[in-house]
Every structure is written in C-alpha cells, then in structure tokens.
Amino acid sequence: MYDVLVIGAGHAGCEAATAAARRGARVGLLTFRRADAGQMSCNPSIGGVGKGHLVRELDVFDGLMGRAADRAAIHRRMLNRSKGPAVWGPRVQADRKLYRAAVGELLNDSGVELIVGEALRLVLDCGRVVGIEMSTDRLPCRSVVLSTGTFLGARMFIGEEVLKGGRRNEPAAIPLSEQIRDIGLGQGRLKTGTPPRLDGRTVDWAQLEDQPSDSEPWSMSALDDRIRLPQLRCAITRTTERTHEIIRANFDRSPLFAGAIEGRGPRYCPSIEDKVKRFAERKAHQIFLEPEGLDDPLVYPNGISTSLPREVQKQLVRSIPGLEHAEIVQPGYAVEYEFVDPRHLNQSLEVRELPGLFLCGQINGTTGYEEAAAQGLAAGLNAAAHALDLEQVRFDRRTSYIGVMIDDLTLQGVSEPYRMMTARAEHRLSLRADNAVSRLGAHALAAACVSERRRRNIEERLALRGAPAWPETEEGRADALYAPYVARQQREWEVVQRDSAVWIPATLDYASVPGLSNEMVERLQAARPETLDQASRIPGVTPAALSALYVAASRLLAA
C-alpha cells in the first residue's frame, strides 16, 4: 500500500512526491503521460525577483527545481544587481528539453513510482481520504496530494476565439473535478496570459542590445553538481509609442483586459494591455527576447503577454525594434482556469475538512513554476507526516518566502493569480536569496528530509558562519549592511509575538462576535485564522473589529 499518492506530475507534483519519498514514504506519482514530468508550459525560465528566493529555499530542503535549472541553464542573470542584496533575484533560462530530462533523472533516483493513468475519484471514509480510484484499479493510501494544475476545465482565448482544453489538448479529468466541486472546496476562475512565440530566425538580432549571461559564476542550487552549458545571448528591445497606439486601439478586443478586476485592479500586470493602460506615462516597456533552447529556433519575448486577436498581435510585434519581420509561430493567449479557494487549507496545506488531502500548485490559485514547486515541497513533507505520523513541517512568514506564500494563500485567499514578489515579505531584509541555508538549514535537517550529501552541504555552510572569513563573504557583508534595520525589526517582532500568542479557539463562532460586519464574518470563517496576529492580516478586518475579536477569544479561553 502506498503511503502517499500524488496526482499530477507537474512542478508541484514532482516536488511533493520526491519530498515525501525523502521522508521515507512509499510514494506513487500519477500522470496521464509519462513524458509530462517536468514540462515547462510557457516561460522557459526559472527564478527572478521573489521567485528566485523561493527556488533557493526549496533547494535547502533538497528540492528538484534548483538542480534541474542548473543542469539545463543556457543563460543566467542576477536581477536587481544595482539594488540592495535583499532583492537580488537569481534567474536562469533553461533549455526546455534539457530541463525535462533533468527532472526525469532526479525522479528516477528518488524511488518515487510513476503510475501512468487517470485518477477518477478520491476514496473517502468517515471524512478522511483513504485512497484513489483509477479507471483500472483502486489504490489505498494514507495521504493524497492533489497537484493537478489547470486540469479543472481550462479554456484558452485568443482575441475573440475560444479554444477548449487545458495545456494543449490534454484531457480534463472530469469525475475528479466534479468530486472536488461536490466536496465544496469553493472554486473560482482566474486568468493569466502568455506572449506569442516567435521564430528566432526572423528576428533582427544585429540591431538589438545584447544581454549576455552573468560572467560571475553562481548557481541556483547549493549542490555543485551542475553541468555548465554554452551560454546563449539574450537580447533586449522595447515597445514603442506605435506599439502602445495599436494596443490602445484594441483594448476592447482583449479578453484578458476586458475582464479586468473592478475596483482596485490587479496589483501586477500579466499582459502588455494592462501595462499600457496602467502605466500610461511610460513611453516604452522593456522586452527580453529569450531563446527556448540550444537547438531550438523558438524565441520567447518576455514582457508582452497578450490575448489580443492574432492580427493585432502581428501588428504590435512588428512595431517593435528588431521584430519588424518577425514571424509568430504561436500566438499569445489567455488561459482561464478554475482553482480551489486556498483558505480551505491550513498552514500545512492540508484541507481542513478532509484530513489526508493536501493541495498544492496552480490549483490553489498561484501562477508560476516556482510558486507551484515550493507549495509541492510543503505539501509533500506534510503528506508524509500524515501518513507516517511524523512531525509537520511548517513555514513561517518571518523566515521564508515559502512561509509568506502559504500564509497569504491560506489567510487571504486569492482574487488574482498569486505571484511571488518581494513586496509581500515584511521581513524582506532578512529573507535574501543568498541566505536561505542560514535561515532554513536547521529546519530542513530537523525535518529529516534531505540526502546525506545535502546534509553535509548544509552543515558546512552553517559552519562557515563562525569562520574568520565570514564578514568578507557576500552573505556576511549583506548581514552587516542590514543589521541595524533587522535589529529594529526585532522589537516589532516582539509585539507580533504577543499577538501571535493570542490563540483563537477553533470553536469561536465569528457570527457571535459583536461589531463584525457580515463581510468580515465571512472572511474570518473562510480563513479560520489561528491567532490574533493572523487575523490582523485578513483583508478588511479593522482595528476596532480586531479588538472585539481579541476580547471574544480571550473570554473563550478563560472560560
């Protein structure tokens, strides 16, 4: 019998499966097609500002993504170099095929059993998950991880055209999605966009500004087993006024933009339409032309995600310097997909109402490989904990971006695709891409989820902190730079500590707390914060309401 079954072998699923296996669980990883594992569905890059931080943290726990990225890297750049080290974001462009191969190798070495087939339903018994029903078989298990991404009936939009299907003609798992809806895991729909893919042979590289790889050697993973590949050049170009005019003339023909969120609006802009509208004063938006592989002519123009009609896309591409004769191989499109309200999950990513079921990845409303992978790690570690009666592994927003993400998702829910940004971390100065091992090394070791090699690597790195050369290292210097600010934050921390110590009993009936509006009650009920500190982060909860909550909780506890 399997301890953990993982449904879906995308970025989240692979991390979840291997993480559970590292804790000693017998893991089965379900996928429609063997070749799907490690598939990068759109942007061929890993990392960035915020995202890169996630990959480094994942790497401390022996995750796959950093190592696979290093093996498949064709271009490297540390973003935000000219700004403070806290926001340096390592970013790697990967050769798609090589990345998939790398993930495949790592999976092979992990002991995870790949099961090709379709999961039809979850098998439930007395309110717990006890197995998965497949078309051919019924597989009992102790924990299930659902990392199915966009399986819940995605649709693609190009201008006025609507194409059914998730990622390029994948069958959608209908019975399972119906069951998820029946269980009442409160779904919604989100949209995100991709840019058109260009034929690199039709791009005028000569007139464009080069962007070479960083000459300094750095890697995504702390484990030095990377294979250095010939580095490719990327190029930079920009949109022009003409581009903006074309876009403005066609605002109403973009489903991504036309369906923009009312009121506050999305805080970041997935599409070029959004950028042109919201930052109207900017004369040009930067575009990075990224080759997709060493022997692949496809180019990914990063910065012009769009869902405008095909002919408009052609016009706008041609208005960009260097792309005057560029051919579009695949038009950009918007993807609309269903997701599960992550407020149903507790901070170990387990569904509160269904012990044994863990959700991770895009299904929780996030966007991006890195976000998915980091959730996969958390879900896998805790699915193993549930199956084998081990300690849960929790991430705290004060010590990791993974913690920030999980806290945000489970307390605030999602109203737009959740993408990691350093702005989300109030402890940004302490959460750097260069100090992930220092922050999380001990935690990873305690969770007993790392290989022997990784264990040695972590111990060495931690020991370095005591060495005389420490202050001269990159991390040492950054620590010194931020030390006074971090010290000041310590004092704020203490205030938060006290508020974190006010536990909100699970039995508290929010509807009975006076002074809370209906909307606040709904949000609190959905998010079920565990402490007063968490409650203060739920959107719309006013200070006055917080005090009412504080008193109600204190009374319940005292009673």
Determine the size of the site formed for another protein (CB under 8 A). 44
**Cβ-contact 273, 257 below 8 angstroms:** yes
Nearest approach, Cβ of 274 to another protein (angstroms)?
A: 12
234 contributes a contact to another protein by CB under 8 A: no
Using the contact rule CB under 8 A, the part of the chain among 36-44, 111-119, 452-460, 544-552 near another protein is 544-552
Which C-beta is closer to another protein: that of 97 or that of 537? Answer: 537
531 contributes a contact to another protein by CB under 8 A: no
289 contributes a contact to another protein by CB under 8 A: no
227 contributes a contact to another protein by CB under 8 A: no
30 contributes a contact to another protein by CB under 8 A: no
Nearest approach, Cβ of 376 to another protein (angstroms)?
A: 23
Which C-beta is closer to another protein: that of 268 or that of 470? Answer: 268
Which C-beta is closer to another protein: that of 125 or that of 209? Answer: 209
105 contributes a contact to another protein by CB under 8 A: no
* Burial degree of 236 (CB within 10 A; 0-12, 13-18, 19+): middle
**Cβ-contact 140, 2 below 8 angstroms:** yes
Strands 27-31 vs 113-116: parallel, antiparallel or unpaired: parallel
Q: Which of 28, 38, 47, 50 binds another protein (CB under 8 A)?
A: 50
Structure-block tokens of residue 460: 């060495």
559 contributes a contact to another protein by CB under 8 A: yes
Nearest approach, Cβ of 199 to another protein (angstroms)?
A: 24
Contact characters 246-285, another protein, x per CB under 8 A: ----------------------x-----------------
366 contributes a contact to another protein by CB under 8 A: no
Nearest to 372 by CA among 2, 4, 8: 8
543 contributes a contact to another protein by CB under 8 A: yes
451 contributes a contact to another protein by CB under 8 A: no
CA distances to 29, 41, 403 from 38, in Å: 13, 9, 24
Nearest approach, Cβ of 527 to another protein (angstroms)?
A: 17
Q: Which of 1, 34, 35, 84 binds another protein (CB under 8 A)?
A: 84
Q: Which of 41, 80, 177, 415 binds another protein (CB under 8 A)?
A: 80
Q: Which of 37, 55, 87, 176 binds another protein (CB under 8 A)?
A: 87
Contact characters 494-513, another protein, x per CB under 8 A: -xx-xx--x-----------
545 contributes a contact to another protein by CB under 8 A: yes
Residue type at 529?
Answer: P
Rounded Cα distance between 224 and 108, Å, is 19
Using the contact rule CB under 8 A, the part of the chain among 102-110, 216-224, 381-389, 543-551 near another protein is 543-551
Q: Which of 83, 138, 168, 248 binds another protein (CB under 8 A)?
A: 83
Q: List the interface residues with another protein, window 127-146 (CB under 8 A).
A: none
Task: Concatenate the DSSP letters of all residues of 2-61 into one string.
Answer: EEEEEE--SHHHHHHHHHHHHTT--EEEEES-GGGTT---S--EEE-TTHHHHHHHHHHT
423 contributes a contact to another protein by CB under 8 A: yes
Nearest to 332 by CA among 193, 479, 530: 193
In three state form, how does the secondary structure of 385-430 look?
HHHHCCCCCCCCCCCCHHHHHHHHHHHHCCCCCECCCHHHCCCCCC
Nearest approach, Cβ of 550 to another protein (angstroms)?
A: 6
* b/e per residue 268-306 (b: at least 16 CB within 10 A): ebbbbbbbbbeeeeeeebebbbbbbbeeeebbbbbbbbb
Nearest approach, Cβ of 271 to another protein (angstroms)?
A: 14
Structure-block tokens of residue 30: 């379900």
Nearest to 62 by CA among 5, 14, 7: 14
SS3 165: coil
439 contributes a contact to another protein by CB under 8 A: no
Q: Which of 173, 532, 538, 553 binds another protein (CB under 8 A)?
A: 532
Rounded Cα distance between 68 and 358, Å, is 25
Q: Which of 209, 311, 460, 492 binds another protein (CB under 8 A)?
A: 492
Q: What count of Cα atoms within 13 Å lies in the side-chain half-sphere of residue 40? A: 25
Structure-block tokens of residue 531: 């402490």
**10 Å Cβ neighbour count for 24?**
15
Nearest approach, Cβ of 481 to another protein (angstroms)?
A: 9
Nearest approach, Cβ of 144 to another protein (angstroms)?
A: 35
Q: Which of 488, 525, 539, 557 binds another protein (CB under 8 A)?
A: 488
Q: How far apart are the first and last CA of the chain?
A: 45
CA distances to 93, 125, 257, 399, 448 from 441, in Å: 27, 38, 43, 11, 11
**Cβ-contact 296, 219 below 8 angstroms:** no
92 contributes a contact to another protein by CB under 8 A: no
470 contributes a contact to another protein by CB under 8 A: no
Residues making contact with another protein (CB under 8 A): 49-50, 79-84, 86-87, 268, 286, 288, 421-423, 426, 428-429, 485, 488, 492, 495-496, 498-499, 502, 514-516, 532, 536, 542-548, 550-552, 555, 559
